[in-house]
Structure 1
């Protein structure tokens, strides 16, 4: 795994964030509720696995590129909470 960078949601992603991820990152951010209590916005972490970018939001939402080159949005569900 290659470490990337971090940035706050609803701010301009750093230039190192691949263009392929930017549209879906923006869509995820548009769906985030606005915190009326003034809590800080979650942060994204960009990493690379097997040469493919993975952007994970502190809330567990992951935007990545799969082996076929398709951008995938999913939620990192911890087995402890999945009911299995």
Structure 2
């Protein structure tokens, strides 16, 4: 069993937040001005981490094997 955690919007995620979703959390926070007073909640579903912001924004670990590659889905003509 893995326990979740909460942390404030804009703060460094706790050590229990996996590295695999940290970039997506940071990306979700970039440029947002409505984060004051909000918090993230880390939960686990079938062993996979899910971070949800109080406003309903959800960040999940990607199951796409091509995620993060520069040419995923792109054709070079």
Where on the TM-score scale, by shorter chain, does this alignment land: which range? Answer: 0.7 to 0.9
Q: TM-score when scaled to structure 1?
A: 0.67
Q: Report whether the alignment pairs 1:57 with 2:53.
A: yes
How far, CA to CA, are the matches of 2:28 and 2:63 in structure 1? 22
Across the aligned residues of Structure 1 and Structure 2, the Cα RMSD in angstroms comes to 2.4
**How far apart are residue 31 of structure 1 and its match?**
2.9
Structure 1: unaligned runs, 5 residues or longer: 72-84
Displacement over 3 Å in runs of 4+? 66-71
Give runs of aligned pairs for residues 37-52 of structure 1, distance below 5 A: 40-52=36-48
Contact 1:2–1:49 under 8 Å retained in 2: no
User: Size of the alignment, in residue pairs?
Assistant: 67
Normalising by structure 2, we get a TM-score of: 0.72
The structure whose residues are more often helix, as a share, is 1
Q: Which residue of 1 aligns with 2:25?
A: 25
Residues 42-71 of structure 1 show CA distances to partners (whole Å, capped at 9, x for unaligned) of: 100000000000000001000012444659
